[in-house]
Amino acid sequence: MLRSKAPVWLAVAFGLAAIALPRAVGQDGGFTTHERDALGRGELVARPRNELQGDRTWIGGTSYQQVARPRTEVWRGVRDVGRWHDMLPETRETRAERAEGDAQLVGVRHSYGPIDARYTLRVQFDEGAHRASFEVEPTRPHDVRAAHGFLEVHNWPGDPARSLLVWAVLADPGDNPLVGMVMGDIQYWTLRVPSTMRGFLEGAGAELYRD
């Protein structure tokens, strides 16, 4: 795949709706009644997004997931980058590399059918906002041309035992013909990050981060 030498920043707007739940990231307006009901039932709410910018094809979007764990426990899981392979879909390996202040370099390896993709993320943690912003580190080898976005953990309104994961990402996977054949599948799994995180944080990883 082609390599990128310049990061592209994701411009997203995030705020709190007047009616308790967060507004949509990078979308006009807040949640629909259907989306609010789905979140309340513990379902994933996903809003795919595709963009063409010059010779780049960006895929991704935003997705939201209720987690039946307190915000502090979910945030501990987010900070545990060495276990991200247990939380991210189709991920075989994650490893913590060099730390630079609040920023952490994280090596990632995905495997999906015949596709094996490796890259390094630069992750910036904001403890006060419970927000992890990330981009593919362009100075390291990367099989993904570019990607950037964020993950936020919010309190669930009226219930401190639950939280809300908010995930926003745009990625340019590159021009590998194999990638082009499964682009839809890649976008599907990319948007399922909050759901797979929930599965680990409520299941096998629940005791790891308990208050």
Identify whether 145 is part of a domain: yes
The first and second tokens of residue 95, run together, are 């490893």
Identify whether 27 is part of a domain: no
pLDDT at residue 189 tops 70: yes
**What's the pLDDT score for residue 178?**
47
Nearest to 10 by CA among 124, 103, 109: 124
Identify whether 26 is part of a domain: no
- Residue 89 is part of a domain; what is its CATH number? 3.30.530.20
Identify whether 19 is part of a domain: no
**What's the pLDDT score for residue 113?**
63
Per-residue model confidence as pLDDT tens digits over 38-49:
999 999 999 998
Task: Give the rounded percent of residues in the chain with a pLDDT score beyond 90.
Answer: 51
The first and second tokens of residue 57, run together, are 């094809």
Identify whether 211 is part of a domain: no
Residue span of the structural domain in which 186 resides: 33-206
At what angle are helices 193-202 and 71-79 packed, to 10 degrees? 110
Nearest to 194 by CA among 76, 42, 90, 65: 65
Identify whether 23 is part of a domain: no
Task: Give the rounded percent of residues in the chain with a pLDDT score beyond 70.
Answer: 79
The number of distinct structural domains making up the chain is 1
Q: Are 7 and 149 in contact (CB under 8 A)?
A: no
Identify whether 2 is part of a domain: no
Indicate the DSSP class of residue 24. Answer: P
Per-residue model confidence as pLDDT tens digits over 121-155:
999 999 999 999 999 999 888 878 888 999 999 99
User: Looking at residues 6-28, what average pLDDT do you find?
Assistant: 31
Rounded distance, CA 47 to CA 25, Å?
A: 9
User: Looking at residues 184-208, what average pLDDT do you find?
Assistant: 91
Query: Residues with Cβ < 8 Å from 55, sequence gap 6 or more?
Result: none
Alpha helical stretches, state H, the chain: 33-40, 71-79, 84-87, 177-181, 183-191, 193-202
**What's the pLDDT score for residue 174?**
66
- 41 in the Ramachandran plot: left (φ > 0), alpha (ψ -120 to 50) or beta? alpha
Q: Are 192 and 64 in contact (CB under 8 A)?
A: no
- How many Cβ atoms from other residues are within 10 Å of residue 169's Cβ? 24
Identify whether 70 is part of a domain: yes
State the chain's mean pLDDT as an integer. Answer: 80
